Amino acid sequence: MRNEQRLDNALARLRSSADPALPDGFMDGVWMRAGQMEALSAQRTRFVLFAAMAFIGLGAGFGTTQTPAHAEPAGYQLVEGANMSPAALLHVEP
């Protein structure tokens, strides 16, 4: 009950006061602050993306082995011994 009385008193005081006038440049300041907040958000996003790319790159680098590569003969039946010239593929007799 007491809170309702305090709320009624506060609303009555607000109703009786005149409309406060906004100072000059208030909206410019609001938009400037909104721009600063957007710039900070974009900076955080760029930092997070950079950190993620660095983490993935380092993880991929550490995940590779240092073993030497060896050439092996091709084991494809399609390629082994087949004449892959354009004439043979088109069944053209020379």
Q: Phi/psi at 69 (nearest 5 deg)?
A: -95, 140
Neighbouring C-beta atoms of residue 22, cutoff 10 Å: 9
pLDDT value at residue 48: 97
Cα distances (angstroms) measured from residue 46 to each of 43, 50, 54, 59, 85: 5, 6, 12, 20, 51
Please give the residue that has the higher pLDDT: either 21 or 42. Answer: 42
What's the pLDDT tens digit per position in 33-91?
999 999 999 999 999 999 999 999 888 877 777 777 777 665 655 555 566 667 777 76
Confidence (pTM): 0.45
Asked if residue 74 lies in contact with residue 80, where contact means CB atoms within 8 angstroms, the answer is: yes
pLDDT value at residue 37: 95
